[in-house]
Amino acid sequence: MDNRFQKTRNDFPILNQKVNDESLVYLDNAATSQKPNQVIDELVRFYRNDNANVHRSVHTLGERATEEYETARQKVQKFINAKDTREVIFTKGTTDSLNLVASTYGAENITASDEIVISIMEHHSNLIPWQQLAIKKGATLKYIGLTADGQLDMEDAQSKITDKTKIVAIAHVSNVLGVTNDIKKIAQIAHSHNAVIVVDGAQAVPHMKVDVQDLKVDFYAFSGHKMLGPMGIGVLYGKTALLNKMSPYQYGGEMIDFVEKDFSTWTELPWKFEAGTQNVAGAIGLGRAIDYLTTIGMDNIAKYETELVSYLLPRLLRIDSIEVYGPHDVGIHNGVVSFNIKGLHPHDVATALDMDGVAVRAGHHCAQPLMKYLGVVATVRASFYFYNSKADADKLLQAIAETKEFFNV
């Protein structure tokens, strides 16, 4: 393994085990990342020492918990370069964040004469909320297509985004095709038509430096569990001016200012959108994950993952009966590699690879319209992170060869 990351791999206890009598090779990072000891220990420390509800109690534990929770928000703000901590809302994850925008900003601003533009590569989390909003409002939902090699068709984007468009919702990085979309350019197109842009950043924030101000996005969503953090915690970034105009997503404790028998008023950002008891430990764990990633350096992570894919992809493409989806150019392919072995169902392939200790994903990857667009039911997906190595890529290639031999394809 690359010496830059050998030490970090030792921080992940789950990787040091055998599966089916084989050393585990974990290549399902697009679904969820593994957690380092530093994050696990932080969760244990909080529950052992500081467990209390935030923003409510004046006792010492409550004040400590509140300080740690808000410190985590500051870490997120700095990590994505938001202008203000008020633009950082803690949610359950990317799905929750995107539903928040669709249920508030979308519901309050979309009419039957409007259009919503998304891409055919979207994860269901960034497709169904807009689909259902369009159905309820009688609005038009339009899909941007792909180029022949699986990249977003920017000419089609220029054509589909018009003066009727009110919302453009796009993934920063595809969870299937291994492509990074030009969010800054799409934002420019959207804004030229007075539309807002909503970005699914679940597959981007863990793997590259993201600057929401530089990208000029209006909303940006991501999840903690894909970036070394706990499950059940995520972030919605939104511009202050837009968030201030939006109604609360949920009602209850913590998000109020005054409550009377016949009416209520809401507290200020970001707490207006954080009703009830929040995932305090999750936020603190996410903050610790950000510390860990920051120490490594997001540019270093992105460069290393490019090296891994540059090593794997040409070797994978040389295997007979393998079909790889998305660009074959290693210069534009990120750490998600989806493929099929002709004649074999993806689930059979994934089961066979698991017998060799190689954990990959098989299925439609919550992107059924994309699968139909590609003309397949499902694919096998290997997704890499910085704690993976060229040896892991070799083990995947070896397991594929053994699978082909076993099934005689």
Residues contacting 391, CB < 8 A, separation 6+: 1
Residue with tokens 């039911």: 377
In this predicted structure, what is the pLDDT of residue 380? 98
Distance between CA 97 and CA 76 in Å, rounded? 15
Q: Which CATH architecture has domain 41-295?
A: 3-Layer(aba) Sandwich (3.40)
DSSP-derived secondary structure for 308-320? HHHHHHHHHHTST
- Side-chain-facing half-sphere of 223: CA atoms under 13 Å: 20
* Angle, CA of 57, 62 and 67, to the nearest 5°: 120
For helices 128-137 and 94-101, the axis angle rounded to 10 degrees is 20
Distance between CA 363 and CA 61 in Å, rounded? 45
Catalytic site residue from 1, 366, 377, 397: 366
Give which of 271, 394, 311, 359 is closest to 17, Cα–Cα.
359
Tokens matching residue 350: 């994934």
Q: What is the mean pLDDT of each run of 10 residues along the chain (409 residues)?
A: 71 96 97 98 98 92 97 98 98 98 98 98 98 98 97 98 98 97 98 98 98 98 98 98 96 93 95 96 98 97 96 96 94 94 97 98 98 98 97 98 95
User: Which CATH number fits the domain 3-31+297-407, given the four candidates 3.90.1150.10, 3.40.50.150, 1.10.10.10, 3.20.20.140?
Assistant: 3.90.1150.10
In this predicted structure, what is the pLDDT of residue 56? 83
In this predicted structure, what is the pLDDT of residue 2? 55
Sheet containing 196-200: order of strands: 88-91, 234-238, 219-223, 196-200, 165-171, 115-119, 140-144
Predicted TM-score (pTM) of this structure: 0.97
Instruction: Identify the DSSP state of 155.
Output: H
In this predicted structure, what is the pLDDT of residue 3? 55
Sheet containing 322-325: order of strands: 322-325, 336-341, 379-383, 361-363
- As a residue count, the chain comes to 409
110 is catalytic: no
Name the residue ranges covered by the structural domains of the chain.
Answer: 3-31+297-407, 41-295
Tokens matching residue 379: 């694919």
* 131: alpha, beta or left? (left if phi > 0; alpha if psi -120 to 50): alpha
